[in-house]
Amino acid sequence: MQNTVAYFCLTAGWLVLIVSLVFLILSTFKHTHFKQILLRYLNTALIWQLLVMLVFIMNNTTATLNNFIISCGVIITLQLLCNLACYLGLKRAKAKGRPSLDHFSMD
């Protein structure tokens, strides 16, 4: 039963990661508001994946644990990279939208 739950969680983790990557690619064409919502979603997905990994590690001590940790490590690393890319894109979009004082003249 635990292996079934573990494989389901791994599959769900990969699906969440794929959806995150698709949204990240689409965010290049969207506005800042979409990127803010996407960053919130990515943070929620990362927390969910960390919780699933911690719960499984606490409840399982078999030989399959190593494979599960490696798979979850890859998923979490890629999710962190998605979060970082979205965060940097959001900062860049906010910087484009703000007027700069360099172009303001007091003359």
Task: Please tell me the pTM assigned to this model.
Answer: 0.71
Q: Which residue has the higher pLDDT, 50 or 103?
A: 50
- CB atoms under 10 Å from CB of 74, counted, come to 13
Question: What φ, ψ does residue 75 adopt, rounded to 5°?
Answer: -60, -45
Residue-wise pLDDT for 16-65, tens only, equals 888 888 887 877 777 777 778 888 888 888 888 888 778 777 766 665 66
In this prediction, residues 90-102 reach a mean pLDDT of: 69
Please state, in angstroms and rounded to a whole number, the distance separating the CA atoms of residues 26 and 89: 12
| Side-chain-facing half-sphere of 93: CA atoms under 13 Å | 16
- In this predicted structure, the answer to whether residue 95 has a pLDDT above a threshold of 60 is yes
